[in-house]
Structure 1
Amino acid sequence: MTAPSEEAGARIRKAVAGLPADKLTDPEAVGRVVPIGAVLGPAALAYVVADDFQPAPPAKLRVEELPAGHADLDRLEQAAGAEDAGEAGLSEITSPAFVLRTDGQVVAAAGYREWPSSTAHVSVLTSPAWRRKGLARATGSAAVRHALAQDLLPQWRARVPASRKAAIALGFIELGFQLSFQLL
């Protein structure tokens, strides 16, 4: 568990102490013992090491590298909608963005944000019209390859089954689940 302060952490630990482990990622169960606001998740947390990484086969479209914060990423987020863009977290990446274009438009992108303990939190977003075509796997593969080359441990957080499937196809192993919430 992470919390904004030691005091908040102690308050949360005390409140959830009586919950069974399988309920710690259930927003309704946690909300009954802790006053929570906005919720993100639950989501599966998966990790991959270099030896287990299964890169995506070369795509028909060329994966291009853009700097984080590039305007084309903003346009992709707008096309995907606020909820999907927020879930993906592409606007928070610190790595380059790895993108696929169709007719000049970015239709899929991935990158990562470097977190403590040499973790690369991978973000992937595909335009709704282009989903289920392997584009998340292709861009995610490029981001993971880059993270591994930087000696980082890639982490893939996925709530949506298609995203979980893309991560598993790349060799990620689900090791747990996460629930993020805002305290009231």
Structure 2
Amino acid sequence: MAVDPLLKQAQSVWETLAAVPVSFPPVGGLNVVTSPASQLAPPSWAGILVLGDAAIVTAPTDRAGQVLRRGLAGMPISALTSAEAVRAVLPAEEVLGPAVLGYVSHDGFRLVPTVCSVERLAPGHQDLMTLVESVPPEDAGESGMDEITSAAFVVRKGAEVVAAAGFQAWPAAAAHLCVLTAPGERGRGLARQVASAAVAQALADGLLPQWRARLMASRNVARALGFRELGSQLSLRLDQGEPRREG
């Protein structure tokens, strides 16, 4: 079977974020490792990452790793990031996700024709932060705009920034895209405009653009830019009890 270079790049990013030696099985399956410093999930949480037809799972403790191995054994790879399916077999106190992961290469990128002026601002610029502070907290947190390390590519309405995009530089030469549009300005294609500029910059910097989304509207923006949905992510906080599935 031919190797998908974009998939291999994406897998390398998350193998690095696991913070301990682990790899995606070459032909399906999953690998579970203990990694208290894993960045696949919040601290003390378990992280499940599916890319292609394989998965890696990081556990905060050895005991949690045992619970995860037993609970997830035999599950279809496609079900590993289903919150409902995982809750049915694991003692999850809290779940985040799932989120879909998309990636794009130079050849696959579709640059959006410019129909409005896109300005470049420094990360943390006050005009950018004004946009972040004006939206609901859950929107601001989901966007990650206050954590970008790149320039911010923005569109203004009058003096106000109403749409912005940038990226966080991640390990393994990844660029994690962050996009935010003011609620009253959505549906006008502004997210595509600013995101297109940010992706073009990431590719010019030699980085792998990554798009993580839960909402279909965000996924549609990524698809319009040529991103391919290669996998998904789920995080869960375990109570360290036993799996619910009967042996």
TM class, shorter-length: 0.7 to 0.9
Shift of 1:21: 2.1
The corresponding residue for 2:39 is: none
Mapped pair 1:171 → 2:222: no
State the one-letter code of the partner of 2:177.
V
Q: Does residue 1:133 correspond to 2:203, yes or no? A: no
Superposition deviation, residue 58 in structure 1 = 0.6
Supply the AA of the counterpart residue of 2:79. K
Counterpart of 2:103, as a letter, is: Y
Q: 2:208 matched to 1:153?
A: yes
> In proportion to residue count, which structure has more helix?
1
Aligned residues: 183
Instruction: Determine the C-alpha separation between the residues in 2 that align with 1:75 and 1:38.
Output: 32
Alignment equivalent of 2:236, drawn from 178, 181, 184: 181
Deviation at residue 73 of structure 1 after TM alignment? 2.5
Partners of 1:42 and 1:51 lie apart in 2 by: 28
- Pairwise mapping of residues 13-24 of structure 1 onto structure 2 (< 5 A)? 13-24=69-80
Q: Which residue of 2 aligns with 1:26?
A: 82
Structure 1 regions of 5+ residues with no counterpart?
A: none
Q: Which shows bigger deviation, 37-46 or 109-118?
A: 37-46
Structure showing greater radius of gyration is: 2
Please list the CA deviations of residues 42-97 of structure 1 after superposition, one character each: whole Å capped at 9, or x if unmatched: 1221111011111111122x111112222223222232211111111112211111
Kept in 2, the 8 Å contact 1:79–1:128? The answer is no
**Percent identical across equivalent pairs?**
52
- Cα deviation for residue 23 of structure 1 reads 2.1
* Alpha-carbon distance in 2 for matches of 1:152, 1:95: 12
SS in 1 for 2:114: coil
Q: Alpha-carbon deviation of 1:109?
A: 0.7
Per-residue deviation, 1:6: 6.4
1:54 corresponds to: 110
Provide closer, same or farther for how the CA distance between residues 10 and 55 of structure 1 changes in structure 2, counting only shifts above 3 A: farther
* Runs of 4+ residues deviating >4 angstroms: 8-11
Write the deviation string for residues 19-51 of structure 1: whole angstroms up to 9, x where unpaired: 332321122322343444553321221111011
CA RMSD of aligned residues (A): 2.0
* Partner residue in 2 for 1:82: 137
| Deviation at residue 104 of structure 1 after TM alignment | 1.0
Instruction: Quote the residue 1:103 is aligned against.
Output: 158
Superposed displacement of residue 5, structure 1: 4.3
Unaligned runs of 5+ in 2: 1-55, 240-247
- Which amino acid is 2:185 matched to? W
- Structure 1 distance, partners of 2:168, 2:57, is 17
Q: Give the secondary-structure state (helix, strand or coil) at the position aligned to 1:51.
A: coil
Q: Distance in 2 between matches of 1:138 and 1:132?
A: 12
